[in-house]
Chains A and B, each alone.
Chain A
Amino acid sequence: MLNPEELKYSKTHEWLKEEADGTVTIGLTDFAQDSLGDIVFVNLPEAGDEVKAGESFADVESVKAVSDVFSPVSGTVSAVNEEILDNPALVNEDCYNAWLIKVENVSDREELLDNKAYEELCEKEG
Chain B
Amino acid sequence: MKLLFEISKTGRKQSLLPELDVKETVFDQKYLRAADPKLPEISEVDLDRHYTELSKQTHGVNDGFYPLGSCTMKYNPRIDEETGSNAGFTQIHPLQPEESVQGCLKVLYDAEKYLCEITGMDGMTFEPAAGAHGEYTGLLLIRRYHQSRNDTERVNIIVPDSAHGTNPASATMAGFKVINVPSNDKGGVDLEELKKVVGKDTAGLMLTNPNTLGLFDPNILEITRIIHEAGGLCYYDGANLNAIMGRVRPGDMGFDCVHLNLHKTFATPHGGGGPGSGPVGCKDFLKQFLPGDTVKEENGVYRFTTAENSMGKVRSFHGNFLVVVKALTYILTLGKEGIIEASGKAVLNANYLMEQLKDLYQVAYDQTCMHEFVLCLDELKKETGVSAMDIAKGSLEYGIHPPTMYFPLIVHEALMLEPTETESKETLDAAAAIFRELYQKAHDDPEYLHNAPHKCPISRPNETEAARNPILKYESD
Contact = CB atoms under 8 A, between A and B. Distances in A.
B387 A38 contact: yes
B464 A41 contact: yes
B29 to A, nearest CB: 49
Nearest to A39: B464
Contacts of A61: 464
Interface residues of A, number: 8
Nearest to B392: A63
Contacts, number: 20
B468 A63 contact: no
Interface string B405-416: 111010011000
A99 B463 CA distance: 24
A40 B464 contact: yes
A65 B409 contact: yes
B389 interface: yes
B42 to A, nearest CB: 37
For A61, A64, A65, the residue with the greatest tally of chain B CB atoms inside 10 Å of its CB is: A64
A3 B406 CA distance: 26
A64 B464 contact: no
Interface residues of B, number: 12
Interface string A54-67: 00000001011100
A64 B409 contact: yes
A63 B389 contact: yes
Interface in A3-47: 37-38, 40-41
A9 B202 CA distance: 32
A64 B406 contact: yes
SS of A interface (majority): loop
A63 B406 CA distance: 7
A38 B389 contact: yes
A41 B406 contact: no
Contacts of B468: 41
Contacts of A41: 464, 468
Contacts of A38: 387, 389
Nearest to A37: B406
B141 to A, nearest CB: 28
A65 B409 CA distance: 9
Contacts of A37: 406, 412-413
Nearest to B407: A64
Contacts of B387: 38, 63
Interface in A51-107: 61, 63-65
B405 A63 contact: yes
Contacts of A63: 387, 389, 405-406
A40 B463 CA distance: 9
For B407, B409, B464, the residue with the greatest tally of chain A CB atoms inside 10 Å of its CB is: B464
A24 to B, nearest CB: 28
A39 to B, nearest CB: 10
Nearest to A43: B468
Contacts of A64: 406-407, 409
Contacts of B165: 65
A79 B165 CA distance: 34
B348 to A, nearest CB: 30
Interface of B: 165, 387, 389, 405-407, 409, 412-413, 463-464, 468
20 contacts: A37-B406, A37-B412, A37-B413, A38-B387, A38-B389, A40-B463, A40-B464, A41-B464, A41-B468, A61-B464, A63-B387, A63-B389, A63-B405, A63-B406, A64-B406, A64-B407, A64-B409, A65-B165, A65-B406, A65-B409
Given A38-B389, A64-B407, 10 more contacts: A37-B406, A37-B412, A40-B463, A41-B468, A61-B464, A63-B387, A63-B406, A64-B409, A65-B165, A65-B406
Closest 8 CB pairs of A and B: A64-B406, A41-B464, A40-B464, A63-B406, A63-B389, A61-B464, A64-B409, A37-B406
